[in-house]
Amino acid sequence: MYMTVGSISKRIFLTNVYGIAAAHVFYSRDSAFADDIKRMTGGRGVDVIISSQQGLIFKVSWNSMAMFGRFVDIGLKYVSLRGQLPMHVFTRNASFSGINLETLVEHDKSLSRLTSMTPIQCCSLHEAEQALRFLQSGKPSGKIILEVHRTASVPTNRNISFFYRFRKDGTYIIASGLGGIGRSIACWLFERNAKNLFLISRSGGSKRAQDVVTELRSNGVKVQCPVCDIADLPSLRSALDECAKTMPPIRGCIQTAMVLRDSTFSKLTLCEWQQATRPKVQGSWNLHEVLPTRMDFFILLSSVAGIVGNLGQSSYCAGNTYQDAFARYRTSIGEKAVTIDVGVVLDEGFVAENQDPLHSQVVTGIDLPADIETRGRDIPSALEQPIFRYMQQAEGSYRRMQDSNSQVRTFQEAFTNADSASAGAFVVAEALKMKLSRVLGLPIAHINIESALDSYGVDSLVGLELRNWLSKESGADLAVFEILGGATMLQIVIKQET
């Protein structure tokens, strides 16, 4: 019996455990073992060869067959690769068989039986990656066993979609859509592909709101702004009937309506209580009643005040608590619903436009990284933790929509005015760096244009988005595999420029 191994440790193992003479164990890393076998067998060759090799080693082994020898390819590696056998070996009356051991055992159960295995290397489940990599290296002897214990911790990678795109053929409703938060959400929807917005408002909105509507429409968004109190069912039904006549089917709704009537409970009148709770209670229920079933989403902006309570805001807290329970009800009947219990929002909405409540608040919320950088300050290290990383892609208030357009114009002007191909490539690379920061939610300071894109975890979907963006902004024509091929951002754009 002759054996081939890939390392000295395996040779020692075969000799010590199975008693195979060291002179009969050869190395399979090159084809020199064939000459040793010829010498050991007096030029006769081998009667039976069991192999799982491929390439040159396979052909050298096949050429070592003795007269009437049998060659068995286990695992069908060579067969699956459609390798070609040298025909002259068949003149020795040799035979070749390809056998899949798994199929063999399934066909005849009597051929399989339990037996002791040596050596056995046991690994905990959290070491699965290292174990599989070790197995893939071809270095281990025997078997590797993964042990599963109830207390075992398993590392996982969260599959996070950083950039959701809304449907162009759908209408998205925002209740109180002309308020501060509503305007910000409307611009956020636009930035993510939404082309039809139905912004419901009790008052028709301020001059600031009308400016946002005008800006949205100038960017190709169809916007309707009916004056309607969602707590008034006939009025809401009439508004949605008009929506159905001119707008695509409703795909989602975001309920942001609120009215504050802050007062201690003992001093709160019934009228004030009803004014504060109607938008969140009756308004939310009315939307549930008249909106179509099977929407993509129904989001209600509730508040953390409904959980922890705020002094002097019992009516507001009651409305938020109702919305939390209402979302549970909708999901129980198979409909989409989720509440977001937001804290104090500094950049948009009621607090941003009415600073007085801040004076009585000890905790005042979190600034967006984009707004911190705008003020020339460094982003706190706490905001770079994974739990807050999604905030890196947020561009702040609706005003930034205009800034974004001006940035695009600035980039295009810089690209057009570049005095050389290398200068133009640098402009595009810097713009690509900013785009990558927003898409992946990474701080822009952590991205280097001389680093490979795939080092930042860019997959095929992100690669496709970057390709489309480059094509639109700079006219670059490149394939996705060029982005994923290990080239740096600068190399990619230089190649396009040349």
Q: Could you tell me which of 434, 443, 417 has the C-alpha nearest to residue 470?
A: 434
Calculated CA dihedral for residues 25, 113, 69, 7, nearest 10 degrees? -20
pLDDT at 243: 93
**Domain shared by 473 and 448, yes or no:** yes
Place of tokens 């699965």: 128
Whether 305 and 340 map to the same domain: the answer is: yes
Q: What is the spatial distance between Cα 234 and Cα 288, in angstroms, rounded to a whole number?
A: 14
Residue 435 to residue 393: CA distance in whole angstroms: 9
User: What's the gap between Cα 167 and its chain centre?
Assistant: 19
Name, of 37-51, 258-272, 303-317, the range with top average pLDDT.
37-51
**Mean pLDDT value across the chain:** 80
The number of domains in the chain is 4
| Residue 485 or 281, more confident | 281
- CA separation for the pair 446, 436 (Å, rounded): 11
Quick one: pLDDT band at residue 160, thresholds 50, 70, 90? low
Shared domain check, 137 and 73: no
Residue 492: which CATH number? 1.10.1200.10
**Distances in whole angstroms, Cα of residue 219 to Cα of each of 70, 191, 222, 335:** 74, 10, 9, 33
- Nearest in space to 447 (alpha carbons), one of 461, 468, 429, 433: 433
* Domain annotation covers residue 8: no
Greater confidence (224 vs 451) lies with 224
164 domain residue, yes or no: no
Both 215 and 327 in one domain: the answer is yes
Cβ count within 10 A of residue 207? 6
Domain range for residue 420?
399-497
Residues 181, 191, single domain; the answer is yes
Residue 262 inside a domain? The answer is: yes
pLDDT value of residue 304: 80
- One domain for residues 292 and 421: no
Kindly report the CATH number assigned to the domain that includes residue 83: 3.40.50.720
Looking at 113, 145, 163, the residue that finishes a domain is 113
